[in-house]
Structure 1
Amino acid sequence: MTDTVIGLIGAGSMAATHAAAWRSLGARVLVWSPSTAHRFAEAHGCEASTSLEEMLAACTIADITSPTPLHLEHVRAAIGAGRPIVCEKPLARTSETARDLAQAADAAELPLYPAHVVRYMRPYADARAAVAAGRLGTVQAATFTREGATPVGGTWFDEDAASGGILFDFLIHDYDQARWMLGEVTRVAATQSPATADGIVPALAEAHVTLTHTTGATSSIVGRWGPADTVFRTSFSLDGDTGSIAYDSAEDAPIAAEDEPYAAQLREFAAAVAGGPPPRLSAADGVAAVRIAEAVHRSAASGNPISLV
């Protein structure tokens, strides 16, 4: 991948994760952010760009890891420069914006790949393959859990309008997994405790979500944000009429180094840009995940189920 030049937009924790993955694949990584590009470049083995325009002119793939409220501006800039795009999840904060970005990329004949990395985690990918092959029979019920430390306060993430909090930014991974494994979602119902108040994302929150799929199957999703020492943990279980499958990151073997999901994801995206097969994620998947997350957020705020039909 020595001919691949990445234009990395953003200089936060996800930018560091993407930079390490791209560099492990042999790509050259340029980085731009409004104020911290040079410091980030020194820390992560990248090259700092003095402007977004300069970087987009020099790169072969734009990789957007900036805060969600800036995705609209940065995706549009990459489209204007004619660059294929990787965009960290969520694609946008609203389904309307996500659809607009997907349509703009399509009109420009440019790929827009939403980075839903859980699709590249071996236990989840194996479970989806088992469902697709019919090894579990008809799956009627699934459960997904995700817990971790409450995000550090004092950032853009505190604003519900910007991040959507636990129901939107955190659990969107599991909405995507449920849809990937069990099909389109027709109805959502959600609760969050404590509720969001005065537009500020609560800390130490717990969320419960139920998704109903077109098949009649249901997915139960639970998310928790705990104290700073909370160990990150995810799990899932799928129950079919001829078999079941389950995974718990706290009990099962850790993901092997050769299966590192961020590198696997970006490798697949880069191969597609170079003319290889399409990746397991499309812009439409990113839009669908945002649409589900948006409905879940509305359900929790209103106390009522939301139909997606």
Structure 2
Amino acid sequence: MIGSELKVAIAGFGTMGKKYAETIRRIPGTRVTAICTSRPESAISSGAHEKAALFQSYEDMLSYGDFDVVCITVPTYLHKSYTVQAAANRKHVICEKPIALKPEDAFDMISTCEKYGVRLFVGHVLRFFPEYRNLRELVLNGSVGSVGISHAKRASACPEEGSWFTDRTKSGGVIMDLMIHDIDFMRWTIGEAESAFAFSRTADGVEYASVTLRFTNGAIANLEAHWGYPGPFTTRIEITGEYGILRNDNLSSRSLVLRKASTTQQGSRGVIVPEVTAGYDPFWEEIYHFLNCIRHNDTPIVTAEDAAQALEIASAAIKSAQTGTAVRIPKSRCLERK
């Protein structure tokens, strides 16, 4: 039974775990009561441990149990096991994206949460960025007509050498970890994708991928993701329809541009959290929204089934890059049940 105050535990206290802790402290009626980290000194130095129990063992934290929700911010390859254990202890789960490394793991996570009657949310935070949300609304309102071609680029510094991000068996690589933001957004905005064709290149300090998605409605999206980009964190998106073009560039002073058709620095290594617009924090909006969905049993803006289908698309793109051929994208078993 959830009381007037939602108690939250955080499993994993790296970049995103710290972001979650700092964000939750600003949400009324919510309190961090437990943190699991292999480096408790990081929680202590950040001040996040205040009134929170610290654990180095996830199992010990689950046994402690003084919380309603677990925020899972550990490396991707651990998402399934952490989620399944939390569900078995009847704790709701907010899991960082991607939901898992394999589509079958996502299906197991969703099924297990359903079995124990708990909610599962996945942090595809791009849906909460105002410029992306506004762009989607313009597309759905017909501002550019039927969408034909879309482009998106996401580029950042390379993860630190030796980190779990650089191990594809743990992170899935640049498509699974970085491009999946734009994969989810394109599906949310344009519709279901039916095939992926991709190529990638990896060198010391660099991983690059280019993916072309074909959608069931005939639209095409060209996506790029780049770790080791020699410049500032960069995102660009362009959606072209019969009536004009929508553009967004995080380095431009204009956050969103609609152009109607005419009738006549060296990057350093490390994990980067995108900057947010002054006075608006999409991470706060996302976590606040998920917690409210728990309180009121509402359907979230991004469902676990959405996250599973984004994973299906990313998996198809990775397979295409490995084989050099286009790969058909299956519909997730999670969506087929709906």
TM-score scaled by length of structure 1 = 0.92
Cα-to-partner distance string for 1:200-234 (whole Å, 9 max, x where unaligned): xx53222111011111101110112226x631010
2:17 match = 15
Does 2:155 correspond to 1:152?
Answer: no
1:301 match = 322
Distance 1:19 1:257 in 2: 20
Question: Displacement of 1:115 after TM fit?
Answer: 0.3
Distance 2:254 2:45 in 1: 34
Trace 1:1-309 onto structure 2 (pairs within 5 A): 3-26=5-28, 27-46=30-49, 47-50=52-55, 51-53=57-59, 55-56=61-62, 57-194=65-202, 203-226=205-228, 230-253=231-254, 255-275=276-296, 277-309=298-330
Check the 8 A contact 2:36/2:61 in 1, yes or no: no
Distance 1:211 1:258, change over 3 A: same
| Runs (5+) with no aligned partner, structure 1 | 196-201
Question: Percent of aligned positions with the same letter in both sequences?
Answer: 28
Check the 8 A contact 1:31/1:37 in 2, yes or no: no
Distance 1:155 1:2, change over 3 A: farther
Aligned AA for 1:223?
A
| Backbone CA RMSD of aligned residues | 2.0
Check the 8 A contact 1:37/1:48 in 2, yes or no: no
Aligned AA for 1:205?
E
Distance 2:159 2:235 in 1: 16
TM-score scaled by length of structure 2 = 0.84
Distance 1:48 1:231, change over 3 A: farther
Question: Displacement of 1:70 after TM fit?
Answer: 1.0
Distance 1:106 1:130 in 2: 35
Check the 8 A contact 2:34/2:67 in 1, yes or no: no
Question: Displacement of 1:124 after TM fit?
Answer: 0.6
2:264 match = none
Check the 8 A contact 1:41/1:48 in 2, yes or no: no
Distance 1:235 1:137 in 2: 21
Counterpart of 2:176 in 1: which secondary structure? helix
Counterpart of 1:205 in 2: which secondary structure? strand
Check the 8 A contact 2:13/2:37 in 1, yes or no: no
Check the 8 A contact 1:19/1:44 in 2, yes or no: no
Larger RCO (CA under 8 A, 6+ residues apart): 1
Check the 8 A contact 1:30/1:55 in 2, yes or no: no
Counterpart of 1:257 in 2: which secondary structure? coil
Check the 8 A contact 2:200/2:210 in 1, yes or no: yes
1:198 match = none
Distance 1:296 1:238, change over 3 A: same
Distance 1:39 1:205 in 2: 29
Question: Displacement of 1:285 after TM fit?
Answer: 0.8
Distance 1:44 1:118 in 2: 28
Question: Displacement of 1:129 after TM fit?
Answer: 1.3
